[in-house]
Amino acid sequence: MKPARALLTMSIVAVLGLSGCKAPPGASTSTGTTPPTTAATPPENETADQFVKRVNDEYRAMYPELTSAQWLSSTYINDDSELVSSKANERYLAQLNAWIEQSRKFEGQKMSPDTARAIQLLKLQAAMPPPKNPKDLAELTQIATRMEGAYGKGTYCTGEGPAKTCRQLGDLEEVLAKSRDYDELLDAWQGWHSTASAQRKDYTRFVTLINEGARDMGYADAGELWRSGYDMTPAELSAETDRLWGQVKPLYEQLHCYAGTKLDAKYGAQRGHVAGHMLPAHLMGNMWQQDWGNLWDMLAPYPGAGSLDVNSSLQAQYDKNLAAETAKIPSDHSPSAMSQAEQDALLATAKQMNERAQDFYTSIGMPKLPESYWEKTQFIKPRDRDVVCHASAWDMNMSGDVRVKMCTKPTEEDFTTIYHEMGHVYYYLAYNKQPPLFQAGANDGFHEAIGDTIVLSMTPAYLHQIGLVDAPAQSNEALINAQMRMALAKVAFLPFGLMIDRWRWGVFDGSIKPENYNTAWWQLKAKYQGVAPPTPRSETFFDPAAKYHVPANTPYTRYFLADILQFQFYKSLCDASGYKGPLYECSFYGNPEAGRRYLTMLSHGASQPWQKTLKEMTGSEKMDASAVLEYFAPLQQWLKQQNEGKTCGWEPNAVTSAPPAPAKPAAPAKA
Ligand code: X8Z
Ligand code: ZN
């Protein structure tokens, strides 16, 4: 995403952050306008309209330097890039404070609605509200950059001497996705979480500093600032998320119950190491239990009914690329030549996956991505340095330099993440014609929902059409399989999407104290997700920092809202395309009517309240989960049957019991 808008992105996210996935807001163009110098004192007698025009110009001018610095510190982690990046943030945030200060003189004055909205959005630009005290601001930007870099560098080592092996997040995630060995899973899960403990001190100080910034801006705390970006009061937003969760909770509970039964069958008594009928954190196929798709082997309702094995097809594509690369190297196949061939094959596969995603967007009438996207995107993990692998999409200059940063592997998860990231990119391109302060999502949930709406259109029929799976079977079994595949991503995610900011809202407002950070984290995991750690997690750990968005300070409620909104968008695009059948079978691939409707929404950016944008797109101005329930109706009915007679639900207050024989202790270590 981006800061102001763009700030939402990664590090920028940390800095700015109320809108997209990554990149900061507006920067000057690469086509050569001379950036205006920032006025130390604003012109006298400036009107509010003139003020907003000036801020937009200045913002656009300074934006590319900020994004470039952040791109470097995310794709080339070292002390120098950290220094440059935190200094660029500091300059930007000091400027933001100056603009906010200057805007005060227009309070209560008559001005155009657009100008009033722009001034309101100005105050919401930063997910990391800057303290006015320059020393504190400098400290804040240093901590922010350091925390994200530390996450990117995180490494877990075991063994000594020649037997020493070190693994980073990608390797450990692969263990969680593929292994079904209890102890191996425990080791990988604990290993990654051990890398986060050292972030506690920085995070605690970070909270103090952004709260200071929020108070300087007139908010009670940083959480209140985050909740203020939704064209409603912070309390209303909070109540909205409760209401939406209430709509989908019964569906999640059914899925939880079903997954628990399958885990019991697979792991027997070992699953019982966690109390209260909760799901053990290391057994769900994902480091944070936010997507259970990797447990397909265990959770497929009707194995063999309709092939949905996208992973195997992508792996086969990689193998083919590897064979082609290997054919180019000398026949002795030296380790370094082989390693290069593997890297080249990975890159070729990642580009093919991106082309596939672009093809969906162009099929509905969106433009091809600019050449620079293909030249400047980081498609795969470089071998020679540390990078922040967490996927993000960047608007570098508000005028066409858009990029993605990923460490792509040939998996279904990464394939859908590419479609997700491209949604951000197309949003950027569509709203680039808006003034910089309006270059953001209608709300940040919209930004996260654009690509995911396309993912809902990746039906078995679409996957077959693009050659990734066999022709879909027409049976109830195949339908339930297809629904389960989607539910393991979209339904499993819902409570996770909610709990992260429930934790941060509490941290920011002081109801969760530093000495209680980890305990409160697991209490919320238990309450919302029904997930528990496999071994007790005392306050010597700092498990929240094992999730990217915490050290990167990216707000998370956006993903929860997106998980709901995407079904609303999907339904209205299916309607626009003229589709008449059951919602879950719709794909608007190749339908320009759907694309036109979508582009109209995207091009508004944040220029009007999101309720208006939603109404234009869907006919309703309320976020609503009924499309989620409509979509999953067949699965929900099936789950009810499967769970009949089972003890469903969980006891969030149950004390975690230690397993009888813990696996090897996971000592945190850096390579
Ligand atoms: O962070 C992301 C994207 C970038 S905006 C890859 N997502 C959340 C996550 O990974 O935790 C997408 C789904 C939720
Ligand atoms: Zn995103």
Supply the pLDDT for residue 133: 98
Supply the pLDDT for residue 169: 98
Q: Which atom of ligand 1 is nearest to the CA of 497?
A: 14
Q: Can you tell me which residue has the tokens 């998860």?
A: 413
pLDDT tens for 53-85 read 999 999 999 999 999 999 999 999 999 999 999
Contacts of 288 (CB under 8 A, 6+ apart): 496, 546, 547
| CA 360 to the chain's CA centroid | 21
The verdict on the CB of residue 566 being under 6 Å from ligand 1 is: no
Q: Is residue 344 part of a domain?
A: yes
Distance 8 CA to ligand 2 centre (A): 9
What the block records as the tokens of 622 is 């309320």
Q: Is residue 645 part of a domain?
A: no
What the block records as the tokens of 663 is 């696996």
Q: How many domains does the chain have?
A: 1
CA pair distance 626, 615, nearest whole angstrom: 16
Q: Is 277 one of the catalytic residues?
A: no
CA pair distance 118, 25, nearest whole angstrom: 13
- Within 244-305, strands assigned E span 279-280
pLDDT band at 643 (very low <50, low <70, confident <90, very high): very high
Supply the pLDDT for residue 504: 98
Which residue's CA is the closest to the ligand 1 atom numbered 5? 21
Q: Is 549 one of the catalytic residues?
A: yes
Residues present in the chain in total: 671
Supply the pLDDT for residue 23: 47
Q: What are phi and psi of 157, to 5 degrees?
A: -115, 145
Q: What mean pLDDT is reported for the chain?
A: 92
Counting ligands in written order, which one lies closest to the CA of residue 552?
1
Q: Is residue 71 part of a domain?
A: no
Enter the pTM of the model: 0.94
CA pair distance 130, 89, nearest whole angstrom: 10
pLDDT band at 655 (very low <50, low <70, confident <90, very high): low
CA pair distance 21, 236, nearest whole angstrom: 24
pLDDT tens for 163-216 read 999 999 999 999 999 999 999 999 999 999 999 999 999 999 999 999 999 999
Question: Does residue 31 or residue 561 have the better pLDDT?
Answer: 561
Could you write out the three-class secondary structure of 44-68? CCCCHHHHHHHHHHHHHHHHHHHHH
Q: Is residue 325 part of a domain?
A: yes
pLDDT tens for 87-119 read 999 999 999 999 999 999 999 999 999 999 999
Lowest mean pLDDT among 8-17, 350-359, 653-662: 8-17
Residue tagged active-site, from 193, 273, 549, 604: 549
Lowest mean pLDDT among 304-308, 489-493, 602-606: 304-308
Domain that holds residue 434: 310-477+557-633
Q: Is residue 180 part of a domain?
A: no
The verdict on the CB of residue 391 being under 6 Å from ligand 1 is: yes
Distance 496 CA to ligand 1 centre (A): 12
Q: List the one residue out of 47, 6, 8 whose CA is nearest residue 24.
A: 6
Supply the pLDDT for residue 269: 77
- Per-residue pLDDT, averaged over 308-316, amounts to 93
Supply the pLDDT for residue 272: 65
CA pair distance 279, 259, nearest whole angstrom: 8
CA pair distance 131, 217, nearest whole angstrom: 8
Q: Is residue 623 part of a domain?
A: yes
Q: Is residue 333 part of a domain?
A: yes
Q: What are phi and psi of 357, to 5 degrees?
A: -65, -45
C-alpha neighbours within 13 Å on the C-beta side of residue 480: 20
The verdict on the CB of residue 21 being under 6 Å from ligand 1 is: yes
| 3-class DSSP state of 598 | helix
Q: How many CB atoms lie within 10 A of CB 321?
A: 22
Angle between helices 412-431 and 335-363 (to 10 degrees): 50
Q: Is residue 357 part of a domain?
A: yes
Distance 444 CA to ligand 2 centre (A): 9
